Amino acid sequence: MKRDKIIDHMGKKIQILVIGHNTNGCSEEHSRIAYQTGSEIAKTGHVLITGGLGGVMEAASHGARDSNGLTVGIIPQKDSSMANEYCDIVIPTGMGLTRDFLNALSADGIIIIGGGSGTLSEICAAYMHQKPMVSIRNMGGVTAQFIDNYLDHRQNIKIIGVDTPKQAVDKILELITA
């Protein structure tokens, strides 16, 4: 499967949401992995979506931008200047934390890099709408217990564990186009 030639069934670029630790809780390792993930997404020619703020969101956007990718930040504030500097397109929702649902529903698939309760909110929204999800192992956070498992008894969608950013992007594209 050629990664740069994959499109969804409607012929549009695939939109991949990267979620994880915000500035508080984001380690150098999280930032490094997020940067590489953003770069890998950009290399496919698809669109990176994030929550547009700091931490994993900023690092992924930075990686995508450095690899000539398109970055979209969907921020909770109503002021677009609150987005990180690597967002090419900023969608200021003014919705506060409710924007987590908008993030999840805007994506064709989600890559998880650690995270706290905000990340879990996005995962729950994606789970309820059966969005494919991949989580990079050994990143900690509230979602570590769900890797290679389901969130609940409904078994809507399994969160698939992978070990590297490249594996994450390859796997999410495989799941989206299956």
What strands, in cross-sheet order, belong to the sheet with 133-136? 89-92, 70-75, 47-50, 15-20, 109-113, 133-136, 159-162
pLDDT at position 44: 96
pLDDT at position 9: 52
Among 18, 20, 17, which Cα is nearest to 138's? 20
Mean pLDDT value across the chain: 93
Domain spans, the chain: 13-177
pLDDT at position 1: 39
Considering only the top CATH level, what class is 13-177? Answer: alpha beta
Tell me the per-residue pLDDT of 21-70, one tens digit each, with 9 for 90 and over.
999 889 999 999 999 999 999 999 999 999 999 999 999 999 999 999 99
Contact present, 88 and 71 (Cβ < 8 Å): yes
Q: Average pLDDT by consecutive 10-residue portion of the chain (178 residues)? A: 50 94 93 98 97 98 98 97 98 94 96 95 96 97 92 95 98 95
> Which whole-number Å values give the CA distances from 22 to 52, 66, 92, 155, 157, in the listed order?
10, 20, 17, 28, 25
pLDDT at position 12: 85
